[in-house]
Amino acid sequence: MEIKIEGIREEEAKKISELFKKIAENKDSIETVLDVIEKLRETGLLAAISALAEGAEEGFNSVAKPELMASIANAMIVFWMLGNMSHPMLFEVAQKLPYALNKSFEEIKKIKEEGKEKPSLFKIFKMIKSQEFYYALKLIHSILTHLH
């Protein structure tokens, strides 16, 4: 099939003809891509992608600030550290920490409401003798011992 369009030279017409052949050979794939583009347009994602592309340089400049890069580096270190910790231990901490924090905040709120600022010496000794205090001290001691 030969395509004749006024104002187009024979070389350009051959290129257009080759392009139409490729389109015909890849009809199913092109239809799939067009369906995806249509779905992106319907959901509004196409507009979002377009807006991101228009503001890409501005966005890159705002992301490339030293403060943000330092924060990202710190987050990567934290994730690396968490990834190297024992999974069962982290799982146990993750399960117990929300409850422990809620109880701690309740106790602190209660102390503030009662107006007590300083615990008695007896209360301090009682806290020091508790298992939790021993575990906390042992944890701190162990961490400091192994940070060499």
pLDDT, residue 59, reads 64
Reading phi first (left if > 0) and then psi (alpha if -120 to 50, else beta), residue 26 is in: alpha
Alpha-carbon span 73 to 89, nearest angstrom:
25
pLDDT, residue 138, reads 93
- What is the CB neighbour count within 10 angstroms for residue 40? 15
pLDDT, residue 56, reads 66
- pTM (2 d.p.): 0.38
DSSP 3: -
Q: What is the dihedral of CA 111, 117, 121, 127, to 10 degrees?
A: 40
pLDDT tens-digit profile, the chain (148 residues): 566 677 788 888 888 888 989 999 999 999 999 999 999 888 888 888 887 777 766 666 666 777 778 888 899 999 998 888 888 988 998 899 999 999 999 988 888 888 766 778 888 888 889 998 999 999 899 988 888 7
Domain boundaries, the chain: 87-146
In a 13 Å sphere around the CA of 58, the CA atoms on its Cβ side amount to 5
The one-letter amino acid at 92: E
pLDDT, residue 36, reads 92
Alpha-carbon span 3 to 20, nearest angstrom:
10
**CA gyration radius for the chain?**
33
pLDDT, residue 9, reads 84
In a 13 Å sphere around the CA of 106, the CA atoms on its Cβ side amount to 6
List, in order, residues 6 or more apart from 52 with CB less than 8 Å away: 59
